[in-house]
A and B are shown apart, each in its own frame.
Chain A
Amino acid sequence: MRGNTVRALQTGALAALGSAGMAGAALAQTAGAALTPEATVGLDEQVNQIFADATGPFVSLIFAPFPGTSFPWIVMWLVVAATIFTFYFAFVQLRFFGHAIALVSGKYSDPNDAGEVSHFQALTTALSGTVGLGNIAGVAVAVGIGGPGATFWMILAGLLGMASKFTECTLGVKYRNEYPDGTVSGGPMYYMSKGFSELGLPGGKILAVLFSIFCILGALGGGNMFQANQAHAQISGIVGDYPGWITGIVFAGVVFAVIVGGIKSIANVTEKIVPFMGILYVGAAVVILIMNADKIGWAFGQIWEGAFTGLGVAGGFVGALIQGFKRAAFSNEAGVGSAAIAHSAVKTKEPITEGFVSLLEPLIDTVIICTMTALVIIITGQLIMDETTGLFVLNEAGTAIRTVGDTSGVALTSAAFGASIGWFPYVLAVAVVLFAFSTMISWSYYGLKAWTYLVGEGKKREIVFKIIFCIFIVIGAAANLGPVIDFSDAAIFAMAVVNIFALYFLMKLVKAELHSYSARLKSGEIRRYEH
């Protein structure tokens, strides 16, 4: 019975992670395998059970599928919102794409503002919070279950998500708080309360409080415990099994040094290595694609065909669509509201410029990085296909495509890269750990902003949250807390429920900004600076 409970919990965790956000799904398989049943029985099990019982209804509600399907309504909520914003702003992601690039490259930045946060810095900071396990492991899960066709839907959802980011980040800058000492605080909680009162609508404050609560829970869970847990799984996968609390203490120590001790050098090093890792990852993918250049046409054929027929995957083309949409929505966090916090520190007189810049985020995260992962998996032939029928061969349970070496999640991505570049899995392991670290640093800030919104600004109050955050790193790395992680992922998407609801009321404010800005851009009032 006890053994069954453990297995049930682990399966529960896996199922949850498969559908969970910044999470990177099947990485958890490594975690599950690393933990012996003895390690999880006892106290852990009791904690899990109590927590699962208490939070279960909330989690089930957020991730509930539409009746008779396996399509979670929350994914539809995000995709529908992205589509509405795309039409409402008349394809802003296409019309202002070139302008966004010009803004990031500093062509419209006043040289006298040098030393302030640039568009580039705001964009890369926000990106370091979203690029991570989801891009490496999550995509593998999507392609492993939904086949190559999932890639098509993922790209489509990524392109639509650009409009959601644009909306929330414009508002984030427009309604941020600027304090007399020069520091800034921004994010959905500020645009909800200020924006609603500007429009004379009730309830803005309530939404802001609700959002803040979910944001704190999401930061401690998906943005912290899950990351610590997966970093430990990666490290122990390479050096051999050892207690998770050791990784937890080390990570907590380093994070503490950065966020409490203000040891800038560590943050600086990570912030420089993480983009480098991202570039290395995409670079390696490009090299593999060049090595297999003759198959690129075939791979895109598979993506196109699979998108509309499924090529034999579970659930047919709908299965591919669900997986693709899920992955995009969960990877780039468009509509969740987290990016609005990260982008709000930029120096600009025009809030909308940060909106333009932020729409590049889903493009880089989902349309470029996630697609690279998918292409490498497809092109290196990891998915087993029946030559005679041209359809994919499913595993015994019929839930996912059989792969060479029966891998899934990060192991599948690793195998795909390893098939062409033998030593790359080691680089990948380092990248996963670093991505986890940078995601933690980013989410510690998102959580902090939500915390100070609730309890007020102040050094002491900030330290309290930062210490709580570090304690949760140890807990996250030490235990196999499936239900806890499950709950915190649900909290992240609960942020999206509140955020998008508010965005529907506030989007007309963004439209007014868009009209005014594009008119001034056309008339030449907004000009490039000579550098």
Chain B
Amino acid sequence: MTTILVGLDGHGSGERALAHAQKQAELIGKCDLLVLYVIEWSPFSFQTAEENAQRAKRREEEIAMAKERIVDPALAALKKAGRTAIGMVKHGDVADTINRIAKEEKVDQIVVGRASDGGFGKRIFGSSTSNLVMSAVVPVTVVA
């Protein structure tokens, strides 16, 4: 059994990645999908005391919202197409978290969308996609 991890981003690029992964899965035959949405979050950011006190609650809200808006619709579409799939929402650095889940769930390959557009920040810090490509433990397909 092959497992493909699909990184969603709530945008068109994530949907294209999902479509590509679905196509791959059909070609492979016995193939499960794992759809993952990562909420960008750093343990080294600065917060006020009040934000800290409400953090656990906010985290649950963020996860629920990402599930409802991004992961669940993707799972529903896959189920409709007759594909076995599970969904996950995680907090963390996007590239690190995709890589960590890929390791933990022993997936065979990762499919992600290309970062939508450059932008100033990405010129300095690099995009999550290129970070992932450089650190990934399994083959990565980047969908245009």
Please give the residue numbers on chain A whose beta carbons come within 8 Å of chain B beta carbons, in ascending order: 106, 109, 111, 114-122, 124-126, 128-129, 178, 181-185, 258-259, 264, 267-268, 271-272, 274-275, 341-342, 345-347, 441-442, 445-446, 448, 531
- A163 to B141, alpha carbons, bound, how many Å? 52
Q: How far is the CB of B35 from chain A (nearest CB, A)?
A: 18
**A183 is contacted by which of B39, B41, B44, B57 (Cβ under 8 Å)?**
B57
CB pair B43–A125 under 8 Å, yes or no, is no
CB pair B53–A121 under 8 Å, yes or no, is no
CB pair B90–A345 under 8 Å, yes or no, is no
Q: Does B97 contact A (CB under 8 A)?
A: yes
CB pair A441–B57 under 8 Å, yes or no, is no
Q: Which of B1-52 contact A (CB under 8 A)?
A: 39, 41, 43-52
**B51 is contacted by which of A106, A267, A341, A531 (Cβ under 8 Å)?**
A267
CB pair A445–B56 under 8 Å, yes or no, is no
CB pair B43–A345 under 8 Å, yes or no, is no
CB pair B43–A109 under 8 Å, yes or no, is yes
Q: How far is the CB of A285 from chain B (nearest CB, A)?
A: 21
- A272 to B57, alpha carbons, bound, how many Å? 23
Q: Does B62 contact A (CB under 8 A)?
A: yes
Q: How far is the CB of B60 from chain A (nearest CB, A)?
A: 6
A contacts with B: majority SS? helix
When C-beta atoms are compared, the residue in chain B nearest to A262 turns out to be: B50
CB pair B53–A184 under 8 Å, yes or no, is yes
Inter-chain residue pair count (beta carbon < 8 A):
98
Q: Does B122 contact A (CB under 8 A)?
A: no
**B52 is contacted by which of A125, A274, A446 (Cβ under 8 Å)?**
A125
- A124 to B59, alpha carbons, bound, how many Å? 20
Q: How far is the CB of B63 from chain A (nearest CB, A)?
A: 8
Q: Does B100 contact A (CB under 8 A)?
A: yes
CB pair B46–A182 under 8 Å, yes or no, is no
- A178 to B54, alpha carbons, bound, how many Å? 10
The number of residues on chain B lying at the interface, defined by a beta carbon within 8 Å of a beta carbon of chain A, is 27
Q: A residues within 8 A CB of B48?
A: 125, 258, 267, 271, 441-442, 445
Instruction: Report B67-108 CB contacts with A as 1/0, cut-off 8 Å.
Output: 000000000000000000000001110001100100000000
CB pair A116–B50 under 8 Å, yes or no, is no
Q: A residues within 8 A CB of B63?
A: 115
CB pair A445–B50 under 8 Å, yes or no, is yes
Q: A residues within 8 A CB of B49?
A: 125-126, 129, 341-342, 345, 441-442, 445-446
A115-B92 contact, Cβ under 8 Å, with A121-B45, A182-B60: yes
When C-beta atoms are compared, the residue in chain B nearest to A259 turns out to be: B50
- A183 to B50, alpha carbons, bound, how many Å? 10
| B44, B45, B50, B54 interface centre (most CB from chain A within 10 Å) | B50
CB pair B56–A125 under 8 Å, yes or no, is no
Q: A residues within 8 A CB of B92?
A: 111, 114-115
| B44, B52, B91 interface centre (most CB from chain A within 10 Å) | B52
- A59 to B100, alpha carbons, bound, how many Å? 57
Q: How far is the CB of B37 from chain A (nearest CB, A)?
A: 12
Q: How far is the CB of B61 from chain A (nearest CB, A)?
A: 9
- A368 to B55, alpha carbons, bound, how many Å? 30
A114-B50 contact, Cβ under 8 Å, with A181-B57, A183-B56: no
CB pair B44–A120 under 8 Å, yes or no, is yes
**A121 is contacted by which of B43, B56, B59, B60 (Cβ under 8 Å)?**
B43
CB pair B44–A345 under 8 Å, yes or no, is no
| A272, A445, A448 interface centre (most CB from chain B within 10 Å) | A445
Q: How far is the CB of B17 from chain A (nearest CB, A)?
A: 22
CB pair B90–A117 under 8 Å, yes or no, is no
- A264 to B96, alpha carbons, bound, how many Å? 27
A111-B100 contact, Cβ under 8 Å, with A122-B52, A442-B49: yes
- A531 to B43, alpha carbons, bound, how many Å? 13
- A403 to B44, alpha carbons, bound, how many Å? 41
- A124 to B51, alpha carbons, bound, how many Å? 13
- A183 to B96, alpha carbons, bound, how many Å? 28
- A342 to B62, alpha carbons, bound, how many Å? 23
When C-beta atoms are compared, the residue in chain B nearest to A443 turns out to be: B49
- A442 to B50, alpha carbons, bound, how many Å? 8
When C-beta atoms are compared, the residue in chain B nearest to A264 turns out to be: B51
When C-beta atoms are compared, the residue in chain A nearest to B59 turns out to be: A115
- A347 to B58, alpha carbons, bound, how many Å? 13
When C-beta atoms are compared, the residue in chain B nearest to A445 turns out to be: B49
- A111 to B48, alpha carbons, bound, how many Å? 22
CB pair B46–A124 under 8 Å, yes or no, is yes
When C-beta atoms are compared, the residue in chain B nearest to A126 turns out to be: B49
**B46 is contacted by which of A106, A116, A271, A341 (Cβ under 8 Å)?**
A271
Q: How far is the CB of A269 from chain B (nearest CB, A)?
A: 10
Instruction: State the 4 A-B residue pairs at the shortest beta-carbon distance, nearest first.
Output: A115-B91, A182-B57, A118-B43, A345-B52
